[in-house]
Amino acid sequence: MEPNYLPEQYKKDKMIEINHNYLQKQFADYDIIFEKLKELVIKGDFTLGESVNEFEKNFAKIVGTKYAIGVGSGTDALFLSLKALGIGEGDEVITSPYGFYSTVGAIVTAGAKPVFVDVGEDYNINPNLIEGAITDKTKAIIPVHWAGLLCDMEKIIPIAEKNNIHIVEDACQAFKAYKDKRYSGNFGTLGCFSFHPLKIINIWGDGGMIVTNSQAMHDKLLLLRNHGLINRDECVLWGYNSRLDSLQAVVGDHLLKKVDSITKTRIRNADYFNQKLVEIPEVLTPIRYGDEDHVYHLYIIRAKDRDRLQEFLIKNGIDAKVHYSPPLHMQIAANKFGYKKGDFPVAEKISSSVLSLPVHEFITQEQQDYIVEKIKKFYNG
């Protein structure tokens, strides 16, 4: 087995002109970051250092929550959140079958059972189907703000309240998505974010954040992420090691200051695509409901003859990707849950036709025009 399948992918990426990966451009100003890193390195403040506190404070301020807790990754953010809520063996957690593997992985790691509810045409969990999936074992709902679009929280919150279950938002792709005077992460008991290199706020490796307004959750999470230690020598519960590196917090905090321009540019690029692609009947553009409720971590269209279109675009130097197919309930890992093809028709339909176009802040309008032109060419010959 290849130790890391990604390097092969990287080699392929290198040949592509319009890429999903924009990191070289994003961190062209690393000198500024180096200056800040020097101080950290001199102090030897590498784990749970001052820069983590600073980043957490600034992050919480933007999201509007009382607390933010830096952790090892977005996956860990979800896992630790479930653990902080005491969810484990015998419990059920509702989420959507169209998403990234880690949402389900975190539920399974906690010892609980994922229960899928189909998505809507906007790729997010369909709130009208949630109540039908609730049993007396249900302890939480994880709405995934897919691609950067907020789920219909107005409908989901009352369902959770009525049934006395927690909401853990998977906001890994949706930092700064905004609706009803609230930012993503601030709707549920806990909100989970990822700083993986291709997220809205990204760092030089793995990292994540959990936000909450509950002091009890905050205190529990501080223990869970650091071996259950209340000080160097005393351990009050069996915890984990899942810390955001101090070094990565410096990088994250640096980008945090640029977040408004990042999301604005992504929204502008998406608007431009929407406007141009509407002319192509074979393509469906992604739905959004307000001006700021979608931050376009991904710009996902649905396309007729998707696989061939993807191939065609890649041949033309455009890094078109599929996020993701097949859906989660049809993965080999999900065999044990007993789902089958046909159980979630919308997720299955979406998975077979989705295609992500590069939408990041370094894409130029000329590049967007080129992409649209190639899509037209594909369908019109």
**What is the contact surface with other proteins in residues (CB under 8 A)?**
1, 3-7, 9-10, 21-24, 27, 30, 34, 41-44, 46-47, 72-76, 79, 89, 100-102, 104-105, 108-109, 111, 196-197, 203-206, 227-229, 233-243, 245-248, 322, 324-326, 328, 331-334
Q: Which two tokens stand for residue 78?
A: 């979800």
Pick between residue 90 and residue 290 the one whose CB is nearest to other proteins.
90
Beta-bridge partners for 144: 170
Q: Which two tokens stand for residue 49?
A: 């250092």
CB of 376 to other proteins, least distance (A): 27
CB of 326 to other proteins, least distance (A): 7
Pick between residue 233 and residue 381 the one whose CB is nearest to other proteins.
233
Pick between residue 64 and residue 205 the one whose CB is nearest to other proteins.
205
Pick between residue 22 and residue 379 the one whose CB is nearest to other proteins.
22
Pick between residue 127 and residue 239 the one whose CB is nearest to other proteins.
239
Pick between residue 44 and residue 281 the one whose CB is nearest to other proteins.
44
Distances (CA, A) of 188 to 84, 109, 273, 378: 14, 21, 32, 43
Length in residues, the chain: 381
Pick between residue 44 and residue 132 the one whose CB is nearest to other proteins.
44
CB of 264 to other proteins, least distance (A): 23
Neighbouring residues of 331: CB distance < 8 A, sequence distance ≥ 6:
101
CB of 70 to other proteins, least distance (A): 12
Q: What is the DSSP string of 221-272?
A: HHHHHBTTBSSSS-B-S---B---BHHHHHHHHHHHTTHHHHHHHHHHHHHH
Please calculate the CA angle 200-206-212 and round it to the nearest 5 degrees: 65
CB of 222 to other proteins, least distance (A): 15
CB of 52 to other proteins, least distance (A): 10
CB of 73 to other proteins, least distance (A): 5
**Hey, what's the torsion of the CAs at 48, 50, 56, 57, to 10 degrees?**
150
Among 376, 380, 374, which Cα is nearest to 16's?
A: 374
CB of 293 to other proteins, least distance (A): 27
Q: How many CB atoms lie within 10 A of CB 158?
A: 11
Neighbouring residues of 52: CB distance < 8 A, sequence distance ≥ 6:
70, 243, 244, 246, 249
CB of 89 to other proteins, least distance (A): 8
Pick between residue 78 and residue 277 the one whose CB is nearest to other proteins.
78
Residue type present at position 117: V
Q: Would you tell me the crossing angle of helices 30-43 and 50-63 to the nearest 10 degrees?
A: 130
Residue type present at position 316: N
Pick between residue 285 and residue 356 the one whose CB is nearest to other proteins.
356
Give yes or no for a contact between 350 and 119, defined as CB atoms under 8 angstroms apart: yes
DSSP single-letter state for residue 298: S
